[in-house]
Amino acid sequence: KIMEILLFLGVVVASAVSGPAGRYQGDRVLRLIPETDQHLQFLRNVSHTRKVDIWQPHSIDLVTTDRSVDFRVGANWASDVQAELEKIGLQYEILTENLQILIENQFDRIRTRSFSYDYESYHNWDQIESWIATIANKNPNLISRLKIGQSYEGRDIYLLRVGKRTGSPKPAIFMDCGIHAREWISPAFCQWFVKEAVRTHGTDSLLDCLLNELDFLVIPVLNVDGYVYSWTEDRLWRKTRSRNFNSVCVGTDPNRNFNAQWCANGSSNNPCSDVYCGPLVESEKEVKAVADFIRNHSSIIKAYLTVHSYSQKCLFPYSYTYSLAYNHNELANLAQNAVLALQSLYGTPYTFGSGSSSLYLASGGSDDWAYDLGIKYSFTFELRDTGKYGFLLPESQIRSTCEETMLAINYIANYVLNHL
């Protein structure tokens, strides 16, 4: 009996940290570069029969020849799929032998007992929500908390306004994290950013000086329902959790749901796709909330930043077209310098460019939407890594990832402040 209870407790604890026990047991992650139409056709087949799940790019609809593809293959299909690949002469690399182990290994830091918030570990939504309340309460002269709306499942969506009170309206830099649920390093970065603002307050550091002149409008987790689901049910969930009419598949890709050539290239009108554009533009409550907020504050918002993972890129408009943004050269220059600042710390290689040329054509994204609204500095950051851990970046890399990313964000903010 005692053993049974102990076993039960063990399972409860294990599933509390890694989601339902063993969901991805034995699944592999492969990387390859399709070269022929036959290769593409094969990938389409295995994707449509759900034997594989395409990670990078984010959907089979975005896969083309001569571009690298990362995908998960279910444990039951791994040997079949690999045999087929060999048969059609498509070489592949095994990035991960057992995905479940990678999921469990994200939590690779030794937890010390401490009363202060641990910015070097991943936090679930309950913890983040109470962190948001606490940090705003403790720093009334620097931070205020706003609720900008609610998620589909009725959770509050918060925005932290970070900046020194001056009595007059200040120009602002908007930054959201956690548009995509499984990209856990993104909310970790927004929390780190706010912590740095508090820590350096009054030190005359660059960030401290920026906060005299600017406000940062920070959404720590935008897609809250998806984030919760990625903790409790499926670590690799990307979309929102809204129910779809006439389909058993749940959710819309919030970054295909903005009013920027909505539902055209690089998005899907299939509710089962990970890049589903949704039934209507801004159908997602989370997207509507952030779009309304930005529209209502468009005269003060001078830059739009959105934080994702993975692939180590700094992207700017456009993603929905190959046409160049009117200030393309300025954006390219700024992205290059931001990336140089980032790399100066640990040498992490980053690339930069317009979304369409450096990633793929993809419509309905928040960065293009904000840009077309008139916010001429608009950037998407894709943080670490380049695929070794992918979405499952271990906690031991939170500190270095956040430290280096701070340099890029500060660089951009300082530039924007000097070019108002």
- Contacts to Zn ion from residues 61-100, by CB under 5 A: none
Which of Zn ion, ligand ARG, none binds 85 (CB below 5-8 Å, type-dependent)?
none
Catalytic residue flag (residue 382) = yes
Which of Zn ion, ligand ARG, none binds 368 (CB below 5-8 Å, type-dependent)?
ligand ARG
Least distance to Zn ion from the beta carbon of 82, Å? 28
Which of ligand ARG, Zn ion, none binds 278 (CB below 5-8 Å, type-dependent)?
none
Residue whose CB is less far from ligand ARG, 119 or 391: 391
- Residue 302 is a binding residue for ligand ARG (CB under 6 A): no
Question: Strand 92-96's sheet: what is its strand order?
Answer: 52-56, 69-73, 28-32, 92-96
Interatomic CA distance for residues 90 and 33, integer angstroms = 8
Strand runs labelled E in 238-356:
301-309, 313-316, 351-354
Site string for Zn ion, 298-317 (x = CB under 5 A): ----------x---------
Site string for ligand ARG, 244-263 (x = CB under 6 A): -----------x--------
> What are the beta bridge partners of residue 177?
307
On the CB side of 211, CA atoms within 13 Å amount to 24
Q: Choosing from 183, 284, 382, 395, which is the catalytic residue?
A: 382
Residue whose CB is less far from Zn ion, 28 or 180: 180
Residue whose CB is less far from ligand ARG, 163 or 226: 226
- Residue 380 is a binding residue for ligand ARG (CB under 6 A): yes
- Residue 319 is a binding residue for ligand ARG (CB under 6 A): yes
Interatomic CA distance for residues 9 and 66, integer angstroms = 49
- Residue 387 is a binding residue for ligand ARG (CB under 6 A): no
- Of 123, 180, 302, 313, the residue at the interface with Zn ion (CB under 5 A) is 180
Structure tokens belonging to residue 55: 């990670």
30-44 residues labelled b (16+ CB within 10 A) or e (exposed) = bbbebeeeebbebbe
- Residue 182 is a binding residue for ligand ARG (CB under 6 A): no
Structure tokens belonging to residue 7: 């076993």
Query: CB nearest ligand ARG: which residue?
Result: 365
Binding residues with ligand ARG: total (CB under 6 A): 12
How far does Cα 382 stand from its chain's mean position?
Answer: 7
Do residues 85 and 11 touch, judged by C-beta distance below 8 A? no
165-194 residues labelled b (16+ CB within 10 A) or e (exposed) = eeeeebbbbbbbbbbbbbbbbbbbbbbbbb
Structure tokens belonging to residue 193: 């950013």
- Residue 308 is a binding residue for ligand ARG (CB under 6 A): yes
Which of Zn ion, ligand ARG, none binds 58 (CB below 5-8 Å, type-dependent)?
ligand ARG
Structure tokens belonging to residue 1: 């009996």
- Contacts with Zn ion by CB under 5 A lie at 180, 308
- Contacts with ligand ARG by CB under 6 A lie at 58, 255, 308, 315, 319, 355, 359, 362, 365, 367-368, 380
Q: Which residues are catalytic?
A: 382
